Amino acid sequence: MPDKPFSKARQVRLMIFDVDGILTDGKLVFGSDGEALKIFHVLDGHGIKLLQQSGIQTAIISARKSDMVMRRAEDLGIGHVQLGIQDKLSAFTMLLSKTGMTAAHCGYIGDDVIDLPILTRAGFSASVPNGHIEVRSRVDYVTEATGGNGAVREVCDLILQAQDKYAALMESYLK
């Protein structure tokens, strides 16, 4: 793997996730009550938990409001959740203020142009192969897995490997 994403991922202390197209495959299916149904991959969820176990804070910033996303965030213990946010840069700035982090210590994974203001400022940025071309061309790392199908886990593993935490975490499962 090229050193650039690894060296940038080494600095991540707060990892921020978009939802639609990242934690999900981006397809919207509406229930009879009008709410968009979401399908989340368990590998992604466990990757988020591994980040948290290693001391990395986690957050979600999403343009869509969703009770399902809030429930998933609660299940995973994601500490900072901002939903229904069209101005993602303002949400990012508020999150930095709230956590005391600098942009250089944040990672962000997103898939569409609405994510560019954060992706271009975060210390480490990632996208998915099915993300918009303008996004893929500007990030530090493009996953092999598609959104909603293990892309988040891939990024979590990369961060843990870059910070020399991955091997110890994997070893704990072999005891």
- Residues belonging to the binding site for Mg(2+) are 18, 111
- Which residues carry a binding-site annotation? 18, 20, 111
Tell me the C-alpha distance between 115 and 68, whole Å: 21
User: Which of 106, 115, 121, 112 lies closest to 159 in space, CA to CA?
Assistant: 106
What is the amino acid identity at position 92?
Answer: F
> In whole angstroms, what is the distance from residue 122 CA to residue 128 CA?
16
Give the annotated binding-site residues for substrate.
Answer: 20
Q: CB neighbours (10 Å) of residue 89?
A: 16
User: How far is it, in rounded angstroms, from Cα 157 to Cα 169?
Assistant: 10
